[in-house]
Amino acid sequence: MKIKSAEFVMSNSDVEKCPKTRLPEYAFIGRSNVGKSSLINMLTSRKSLAKTSGRPGKTQLINHFLINKNWHLVDLPGYGYARVSKSSKKVFQKFITQYFGLREQLVTAFVLVDIRHTPQPIDLEFMQWLGENGIPFSIIFTKADKLKPKAIENHVEDYKKIVLETWEDMPNYFITSSSNETGKDDVLEYIDGLNENMIDG
C-alpha cells in the first residue's frame, strides 16, 4: 500500500465525538516513550503528522488521521506515563477502555513495545485485557535499529516464552524501526489486506 494522503481529522477525549463514518480504524497504543509518534510518521511518510516529543505522555487525546481517504489511523494516549497526576491517569485509562468498547469501526489494535526491554507487566496486562475483551491486536516491536539482528531474534524469543505462559499462541507481530523504515511495508501490507478482506466480505 502506498500512502498518498494522510490528514489530521480530530483530537478529543470523548469517544462519542469520534468520527461518525464507517471507515475502518486501526488503533496504535503503547507505553509512553515507546516511539509511537515516530512510527506513525514513518508509516505515513510524513515528518510531523504525529507530534513527537521527548516528554512521555504527550498524546493525551484520541487522535484520528484519515489515510488515503479510506481508513483511519488512530493515535491513542500512552498508558503508564510518568508526568500526569493519578486522577488524570484514571480519566485517560477510562477513555482508552471506552474507545475499545464503543468503536465498532475498529479493525485491530497495534500494541507498541520497545524491543530492547524485557516484557513489562503493564504491556502484558493490557494485551490480556484486549484478549479478554475480544479485541484483535498485533504487537509492534519498535526501535529495532538499536539492536543487532541476533539480539533482536533473542529478544523476540524471550518475549514469546513469557507471552506463551498465558496465551495459546504468540499474537501476530512486526519488527520495526522508525529511523531506517524496517517493517514499514509489512505493517502497511497487513492493514491493506484487512481492508480488502472487509470489502470482499
The set of residues, in sequence order, having a beta carbon less than 8 Å from that of 144 and lying 6+ positions away, is 115, 152, 175, 176, 177, 182, 183
* Residue whose C-alpha cell reads 469517544 in the numeric block: 15
92 lies in a domain?
Answer: yes
Confidence check: pLDDT of 120 > 80: yes
89 lies in a domain?
Answer: yes
Residue 181: DSSP 8-state: T
Model confidence band, residue 121 (pLDDT cutoffs 50, 70, 90):
confident
Residue 17: DSSP 8-state: G
pLDDT (tens digit per residue) in 50-105: 876 555 555 578 999 999 999 999 999 877 654 455 554 555 577 788 899 999 99
Confidence check: pLDDT of 9 > 50: yes
99 lies in a domain?
Answer: yes
Provide the 10 A C-beta neighbour count for residue 60: 16
Distance CA 109, CA 72 (A): 12
Written as one letter, the residue type at 152 is I
Distance CA 185, CA 183 (A): 6
Q: Which residue has the higher pLDDT, 59 or 19?
A: 19
Confidence check: pLDDT of 49 > 80: yes
What is residue 94's predicted lDDT score, i.e. its pLDDT? Answer: 76
Residue 106: DSSP 8-state: E
Here the CATH number for the domain that contains residue 135 is 3.40.50.300
What is residue 92's predicted lDDT score, i.e. its pLDDT? Answer: 52
Sign of CA dihedral 60, 24, 20, 67: positive
What is residue 140's predicted lDDT score, i.e. its pLDDT? Answer: 98
What is residue 175's predicted lDDT score, i.e. its pLDDT? Answer: 98
pLDDT (tens digit per residue) in 141-150: 999 999 999 9
What is residue 82's predicted lDDT score, i.e. its pLDDT? Answer: 46
Distance CA 111, CA 29 (A): 5
Q: Average pLDDT for residues 14-41, to the nearest whole number?
A: 93
Rg (CA), the chain: 16
Closest CA to 69 of 8, 123, 120, 6: 6
What phi-psi label fits residue 134: left (phi over 0), alpha (psi between -120 and 50 degrees) or beta?
A: left
126 lies in a domain?
Answer: yes
* Domain count along the chain: 1
* Residue whose C-alpha cell reads 506463551 in the numeric block: 164
Among 2-6, 137-141, 196-200, the minimum mean pLDDT is found in 196-200
> 173-175 and 6-12: which strand pairing?
unpaired
What is residue 172's predicted lDDT score, i.e. its pLDDT? Answer: 97
Q: Which residue range(s) make up the domain with 69?
A: 6-200
